[in-house]
Structure 1
């Protein structure tokens, strides 16, 4: 009974620490983003009314008072933070709509893109890493290693442009961009049409993500293949698939899964560039549009949501790692 109470207390303490970390992260990110935007050359009022509109000083002061920009930076931040705690992320000056609605609408498009890219890059990266380790020093290993080094140094936007030129412009196999045919209402776009527009952005993110997991798995699997228990297994006659399933998989899959979940931050950054190249209507392209259009409320809202997304990815990585490997549970 005492052990159960202690176990419950330990679990509550770990959950509390995680929640405090999450709150601290959001506060720190919100303060940093707010300070950076406050000290940037962006004029929210001019961005709202448009560059071609000439206003008198009196009209500008009225607008500044209406949006609360005449108050001190601390008062502005506290007012913004209070509104966020009430579920109000503000109104987008670019889209003239609530920020929460825009993020909710664009989030699922980005989530689908990043989810497919995450799964494909993990599966193919792990498979290529295993092949390279079992064929270390041979042509297959050199091919995987060269591919990984090349892709790891390739910017996502550059790869997206190359795929766009080859498969959309030259071969005309896929559309140039967007999430559906131009001019067709969203509710009339078929699944096949969405999938046709989805292939190139997903391929861009998947190809970029393969490199890290492939090289990490290659090194980890090489260590496993040179371990004493694998040498003993080979002496007993185990080879190829049997050796992998009995010894290689369980000793290399945990680090690969952990690394893949930790890839969330890079995945979101690559998504911003890929969505911009393909004009894909997700959070990434919306973030770029908000930055170029000086849409401060939308920019801050997406920054907070993306920070929460990355934190959730790291948290899931820890939980999955603990579920697979009991040795790390006490460190959570």
Structure 2
């Protein structure tokens, strides 16, 4: 395992560009660990509709960064009290959606600190039923990112103000607010720690649980490539906001694998635009599925025929094709 030093950068766009650059360009025979802390920001899941996840007025007034990441899952709030970890490894065919594999060493270190953390639900680390960490994954097919947040000393009032929580999520999980569901790790520590000390203890614990680590610092040329990726992707409105389509049909449902929100534009009986949003995790980009349905008559039989050879679980995880078809068209 090689620990990548991000040199203290707190720009979320730069840190996400760094993470993706490591994934795509570093030696694929090695495993990497990256830590980073972001300035106040909302990190949007790859498949989400940004404008429906954030309190736009509050975000603009308080200069909060809004950045889309490459992995699925839901929107999360980051600030200087939140430590992000990222494992970048080979994709062995069994690791995608195996959150336990990558959270286990982190949970072990937290337990050693006296924090009774455990993995629950799809991808959350909880203490006393309160969420202290959420995780997500992304795969290129050969390589993958498994990353997560660690709420150490985050301003919880900002979480509530910055994120526009959907009623479907609140109702389905039975929670009254974001604040009642999340907590800081610092609340569970017997001995207070600074963020710097917490980061050091976590890193030391991960060192001890693995093969000897080495620390790597990027070259000037590698940093330039990261800045180029930031400028070409993560700085762009199109990447962070630009998926919101015109639509005349909206269908939304929360499944065990997460929420799926469809926006369908039908003209003269044919699907002219089709967008899929949600906090689900999948192996394949949903844009492939969206493009497949454009030009198909908005007819249940025709849509079913278009999906005949599609492995729907590659896009959403464990979901029956019949359930997706019902969501697209209804029961009629």
Q: Which structure is higher in RCO with an 8 Å CA cutoff and minimum separation 6?
A: 1
The verdict on a shared fold, with TM-score over 0.5 as the criterion, is no
Higher relative strand content: 2
When the two structures are superposed, what TM-score results if normalisation uses the length of structure 2? 0.22
Q: Which structure has the bigger radius of gyration?
A: 1
Higher relative helix content: 1
